[in-house]
Chain A
C-alpha cells in the first residue's frame, strides 16, 4: 500500500468536496435570490401599480399574480406600493391571478 498516495487522494477528494459544497450553496442562493418570493412580490406590486396609474378610467386588466388592493396601495405578498389613480380601483381574485378594474374618472 502507498500510504502517501492515499493521503494525496484523500486530500484531493476533500478539496473537490469543499469546492462542490461551496459552489452548490452559491448556486442555490443565487437562483433563490433571482426567482425569490421577495423579488417577485416587489416586482409584481410595482408593475401592478404602474399599470393602474397608466390605465384609463373604466379599464379592466388581468394580472397573473395574487394581488390585493387596500385603499391606494396594491399588495403582493409582503410587498406593497402606492398608486395615484383618480377613480376607485377594485380587484377580484380569479383563477390564475387577479382582475383589476379602474373606476370612472369622477372618483
Chain B
C-alpha cells in the first residue's frame, strides 16, 4: 500500500506544479500585454490627436482684416468699412470677426461685424469654463484715419474667432 500512496502523492505534486507554472505563465503574459497596452495607449493618444491650429489662424484672420480695412496703416473713411468685402468666399458659419475704428482726435467711430456671433459667445464661455471652445484673438492696432482729407490718429480694435471644431479637435 505504501508505494501506491507514494505514487499518488507524487502525481498530486506534479499536478500542483503544472498548475502553478500555468498561473505563472499567464501572469507573465498578462504583464507583457499590460505594458504593451499602456505604451500603445499613451503613444496613440499623441499621434492620433488632431493638430489645433486655430489660435494661429485667428491671429492671421485678424491681421488679414486689419490689412484689408486699413491698407498700409491708413483707414479711409470714404471707403467701405465693411468686413464682408474682405472675406467674401468663406464659410460664415466657421468664422466671426468684428472691427471697431475710433478716432483719438474726434468723435469718429465705425464698426463692422462679419460671421456667426455665437462663435464669439462660445469662445468667451470656453475661456471661463474650458472645454472644446472656439479659439479667438483680440487685437488693437493704432492707425491713421483719412477723414475727408484730414489725417487723424485712431485705433482699430479687431476681435476674431474661429470655430472649425471637427477639423481641429479629436472628439468634438
Point out residues on A near B: beta carbons under 8 Å. Answer: 11, 15, 18-19, 22, 25-26, 29-30, 33-34, 36, 39, 42-43, 46, 49-50, 53-54, 71-72, 80-82, 84, 86, 105, 107
Contact = CB atoms under 8 A, between A and B. Distances in A.
A70 to B, nearest CB: 12
Interface residues of B, number: 32
Contacts, number: 66
Contacts of B64: 53, 84, 86
B58 to A, nearest CB: 10
A29 B40 contact: yes
Interface in B44-83: 44, 47-48, 50-51, 53, 56-57, 60-61, 63-64, 68
A15 B30 CA distance: 12
Given A82-B90, A86-B87, A33 B48 contact: yes
Contact of A18 (B32, B88, B90, B167): B32
